[in-house]
Structure 1
Amino acid sequence: MRALLSRAPGGPETLEIGELPDPVAGPGEVVVAIKACAINFPDVLVIEDKYQFKPQRPFAPGGEVSGVVESVGEGVTAFTPGDRVMGNTGMGGLSEKVLFKEAALYPIPAERSFEEGASMLLTYGTTIHALVDRGHIAEGDALLVLGAAGGVGLAAVELGKAFGARVVAAVSSEEKAQAARDAGADETIIYGRGPFSKDESKALAEAFKEKGGKDGYQLVYDAVGGDYAEPALRSIGWEGRYLVIGFPAGIPKLPLNLTLLKSCDVCGVFWGAYAAREPVKNRANIQRLFDLWGEGKIAPRVTEVFPFERGGDAIAKMAARGAIGKLVVRVAE
């Protein structure tokens, strides 16, 4: 089968179309012919050997996919060949076929496209775990979302509103601010591009505080990191929860005296590990997402679709922080 392969550490320009052996379904396994693969920030990191895991090369990046069941192994009862499915594979999604455990797949609703199906699980799965399990979101909470126009950012805006929060979306341009407003954000903040001087950092903290109100934010959803983190932490309220999602702007260092003064929590969010450790709780979260999807309260926003041969361009656009919503690679028609 064809795959977009990383053969050595490097940027998206190092990826090349190559061949891998076709997977074969064993007991409890399903082979899926991939139709679409969504691109996420881990795809930027993993090909440069900067991610938490370093797959053995050659490998194909891409962890969020949709497609059609091609074959099933012994004991599989939930799916049959021809079923439309979506799943999170960790790596390997930019391939023509992927092998899954039966429990890792979900049916795509009949009215949804392959592109939409490929854009649901990782971003919304991460975000519902962050807001509910780690952040204990409650109706009336004030939620600050950094990087609010990206895939996880828009998911945080939508889910925050679905759970009754007042959402302030922080982004880097008016175009991204409009995307956040379209997703339901109550207010927006447009910030500059870091690194920031001490005065610029203070000014950004004041901008965050102004929108947060006198009690500050009960939740900060940080999908950016870098020089944006400390100003956001300074705007958090008493016993707030600071949710650490990712670091496209760099890994920050936080002054821990702020956590003491505000009696706040800094909470790491590692959805992949949570899903592996707590599969029953994770599937309950995913079912809740399907319910919200069906009610029209959330919906992946696919803003650009790339052909398979240009999958590297999609990763490059993600690396440049130029994505609004979800970028998807169409692997096959």
Structure 2
Amino acid sequence: MDKSSDSSSSKTPSKMAAATFRCPPELLLRPLVRRGSQVTLKPKLTANISTSSAKNTYKAAVCEDYDKPLVVRDMPSASPGELEPGMVRVAVQCCAVNFADILICKGKYQVKIPTPFVPGSEIAGKITDVGENVRMFQKGDRVFGHCQLNGFSGEAIASAQSMWKIPPSVSFEEAASIPTSYGTAMLALTQRAKIRSGETVLVTAAAGGVGLATVDLAKHVFNATVIGAAGGPEKCALVKRRGADHVIDYTKENIRERIREITDGNGVNIVCDSVGGDLFTQCLKSLSWEGRIVVIGFASGTIPKIPANLLLLKNAAATGVWWGEHKTKNPGAFRRSVDHCVDHLLTGQLQPYISKTFPLSKINEAFEYVQTRKSSGKVLVNITESVG
């Protein structure tokens, strides 16, 4: 691992709401937010959010009101045996910060959660209890994966199908940085783009969580020539250090001209795009014959219109990837995407990048760090560090 530093309702969430949470968190559909397209979700929490005199408690960062700082306070632990079938209870060690967490706490995400609630979904920790029909885990197992909510707390409940065991040589921090970013990147490159060794891959938003994971996989696992596009010299330098053969600073360089120069006019075989907008069109025009462009997200806030004539002229393909939805639509691919990343991590081929880790007491500072785009790769909150 590389570091640069350092509501309580019992109703089951609707399928649409649950699916929304499986979307890559940092790549939410911002145009939907701007149009005010929201679904109100009454979250199923691990415990009632209320002042409690219970003997067993844990710390949690609670969103008590939209667009207000989170409040770290004690929460009552659930009683043993209260789990539904197929679920596990996890003592959370660390949780990744994603941009969707921030929007949810502002009440601006496409799923609106009534306050109070505990945000956070990408976790690593130890299992403390298992529900019926759970065969793959037992108490004491070190695990990582996804929960719908409650990640920024000492205790969370998740589906066993959304969790993986942490190998002995892998830290909690490394594990928490894997599932969404590397799972998305793996599916984008293999299932959607069908990458072949030696091809040229262009990655936009290359300094982000999914971007750096895509650079890492494309270069160190699939032996591709990697071009990373990012905003600003510092982020471009980071992308270069993480394995990209070439970098493009799209704040001052024309991406089409640079790709033409880098590839001697041949174009790139694969584009993994997390930006959308006008940049998507530039990338599409930069494809080689029989090139493939994979839509991962729309960080620009603009969903592009695809000029289909370019697909015809280049015999090209445009496709999309939604990693989380594979949990229900293709559970085998869902689990394999992370399994394979863990395998490559253990061989030393992959190195997740964590730009900064905050203690739970600094959760609001962590949100600000991500919101102001100071972060690269993953930002984590260590739940077990002092919150005094």
TM-score normalized by the length of structure 2: 0.77
Match of residue 272 from structure 1: 324
Residues of 1 paired with 2:107 and 2:269: CA distance?
35
Q: Is residue 144–residue 217 contact of structure 1 (8 Å, CA) maintained in 2?
A: yes
Match of residue 15 from structure 1: 70
Q: 1:51 to 1:261 in 2, by over 3 A?
A: farther
Deviation at 1:177, TM superposition (A): 2.1
Amino acid at match of 2:320: G
Deviation at 1:236, TM superposition (A): 1.6
Amino acid at match of 2:234: E
- Kindly report the root-mean-square deviation, in angstroms, between the aligned alpha carbons of the 2 structures: 2.2
Aligned length, in residue pairs: 323
Amino acid at match of 1:85: V
The DSSP-based 3-state class of the residue aligned with 2:324 is: helix
Q: Is residue 324–residue 334 contact of structure 2 (8 Å, CA) maintained in 1?
A: no
Mean CA deviation greater in 241-250 or 22-31: 22-31
Q: 1:217 to 1:91 in 2, by over 3 A?
A: farther
Choose the corresponding residue for 1:35, options 60, 76, 93: 93
Match of residue 149 from structure 1: 207
Match of residue 196 from structure 1: none
Residues of 1 paired with 2:245 and 2:345: CA distance?
20
Structural mapping, 1:166-181, within 5 Å: 166-181=225-240
Residues of 1 paired with 2:77 and 2:263: CA distance?
52
Q: 1:294 to 1:5 in 2, by over 3 A?
A: same
Residues of 2 paired with 1:8 and 1:158: CA distance?
39
Match of residue 189 from structure 2: 131
Match of residue 282 from structure 1: 334
Match of residue 266 from structure 2: 215
Match of residue 159 from structure 1: 217
Is 1:233 matched up with 2:284? yes
For residues 216-242 of structure 1, what are the alpha-carbon distances to aligned partners after superposition, in whole Å with 9 as ceiling and x for unaligned?
111111122344222222212223222
Q: 1:313 to 1:67 in 2, by over 3 A?
A: same
Deviation at 1:84, TM superposition (A): 1.3
Mean CA deviation greater in 55-64 or 79-88: 55-64
Is 1:330 matched up with 2:363? no
Choose the corresponding residue for 1:5, options 40, 62, 79: 62
Match of residue 187 from structure 1: 246
Amino acid at match of 2:352: P
Match of residue 26 from structure 1: 84
Residues of 2 paired with 1:36 and 1:133: CA distance?
30
Deviation at 1:305, TM superposition (A): 0.4
Gapped runs of 5+ residues in structure 2?
Answer: 1-57
Deviation at 1:67, TM superposition (A): 0.7
Q: 1:3 to 1:168 in 2, by over 3 A?
A: same
Q: Is residue 229–residue 254 contact of structure 1 (8 Å, CA) maintained in 2?
A: no
Residues of 2 paired with 1:266 and 1:45: CA distance?
29
Match of residue 275 from structure 2: 224
Q: Is residue 229–residue 252 contact of structure 1 (8 Å, CA) maintained in 2?
A: no
Deviation at 1:145, TM superposition (A): 0.5
Amino acid at match of 1:109: P
Amino acid at match of 2:323: W
Residues of 2 paired with 1:104 and 1:303: CA distance?
25
Residues of 2 paired with 1:254 and 1:209: CA distance?
23
For residues 108-132 of structure 1, what are the alpha-carbon distances to aligned partners after superposition, in whole Å with 9 as ceiling and x for unaligned?
1112221111111111011111111
Amino acid at match of 1:307: P
